[in-house]
Amino acid sequence: MECKKTAPIGVFDSGVGGLTVVREMIRQLPEENIVYFGDTARVPYGSKSQKTIIRFSEQIIRFLKTKQVKAIVIACNTASALALDAVRDEFDVPVMGVVIPGARAAVEATLNQKVGVVGTEATVQSGMYTKIIHEMNPQIQVIEKACPLFVPLVEEGFKEHVVTQEVIEYYLESLRDTDIDAMILGCTHYPLLRSRIKRYLGDKIQIVNPAYETAMDLKAVLEKQQMAHDGVSGRKSQYEFYVSDAAEKFRRFANTVMPFDVPETNVVNIEGY
C-alpha cells in the first residue's frame, strides 16, 4: 500500500473557486500531494443542469484517475450537491464533496436551530444543503438563498467595489432579518467575500466555510483507511494544476489565493475524457 500513501489527492472545481479548498487542505494536510483541475472552459456550473454537471464531473474524475490519485475532493458546491451521489459509486477511489462537511459544521454551530445557506442557483435549487441538514437534525430550519452575481463579481476583481457591497445587501437583507445564527458559504467563491459578508451580517451570525470542515473530513478518511502520507523530513509536497482553458489567467488568479507561487498550469482537453 506504500504507493497509495504517497499518491496525490485529486481536487476539482468549475474554475478557480476550489482553490479556497486547496488552501485549507494545504494548511491541514501539509504532507499531501495535490492535483487540481479547474474547468475554466465550461465555468460556471451554477446555472447549468444536473445532467450536464454529472457528465462534466465524470470526465474530470476520469482525467484525475490518470494521475493515480488516491482520493478525490469535489471542491465545487454545485457539483457536490448535484453529482456526488451519481459519481461516488462509479469510481474505485473515495470521492467526497463539500456539502456534507459544510452542513455538519452548521448543524454544530447553530444554537437556535436556524441556519442560512447561500450558493449558486443550481445548488440552491437542488435543495441539497437542506436535505443533508435535515438528515442530521430534522428540527433545524434552513433558509437557502441563491446569489448568482457573487461569482462574476469575484472573478472580475470587484471584491472591493461599492457595487459588491450593494449586491451583498440586495441578496442578504432578507437573511439578516431572520434569526438564523449560522450561515453556510455554499459556493467556493464566497469565502473570498467573507469579510464583507461578515461585516454586513454582524456578530450574531456565525459564518461557516465548508472548506475547513472538508479538509478535516479528508484527513479523517485518509487516516481511517491508512492512506495518509507519512511525510519525509525536508521533503516538499507537490502541487500540480490543470485547467480546461486560459491557463495564464488561472495562474494569475491562483497566485492571489494561494500561499505560494503557482507553477506552470497545463491545459487539458477535458471533453476527450
Positions that interact with its own copies (CB under 8 A) = 40-43, 47-49, 51-52, 148-149, 151-153, 155-156, 158, 161-163, 166-167, 170, 244-246, 249, 271
Asked if 3 is an active-site residue, the reply is no
User: What span, in angstroms and rounded, lies between the C-alpha atoms of 203 and 234?
Assistant: 42
Cell numbers at 161, concatenated: 467595489
Q: Pick the catalytic residue: 72, 153, 180, 187? A: 187
Element (H, E) at 210: helix 210-224
User: What span, in angstroms and rounded, lies between the C-alpha atoms of 16 and 40?
Assistant: 8
**Minimum CB distance to its own copies, residue 48 (Å):** 5
User: What span, in angstroms and rounded, lies between the C-alpha atoms of 242 and 266?
Assistant: 5
3-class SS of residue 13: strand
**Minimum CB distance to its own copies, residue 187 (Å):** 14
Q: Which of 139, 141, 161 is nearest to 150 (CA)?
A: 161
Q: Which of 6/40 has CB closer to its own copies?
A: 40
Residue 136: how many other CB atoms lie within 10 Å: 13
**Minimum CB distance to its own copies, residue 152 (Å):** 4
Q: Which of 149/216 has CB closer to its own copies?
A: 149
Q: Which of 42/251 has CB closer to its own copies?
A: 42
Q: Which of 15/101 has CB closer to its own copies?
A: 15
Do 267 and 244 contact (CB within 8 A), yes or no?
yes
Q: Which of 161/204 has CB closer to its own copies?
A: 161
**Minimum CB distance to its own copies, residue 77 (Å):** 18
Tell me the residue length of the chain. Answer: 273
**Minimum CB distance to its own copies, residue 43 (Å):** 8
Residues 6+ apart with CB under 8 A from 264: 247, 251
Q: Pick the catalytic residue: 54, 76, 79, 146? A: 76
Asked if 76 is an active-site residue, the reply is yes
Residue with cell 445532467: 51
Catalytic residues: 76, 187
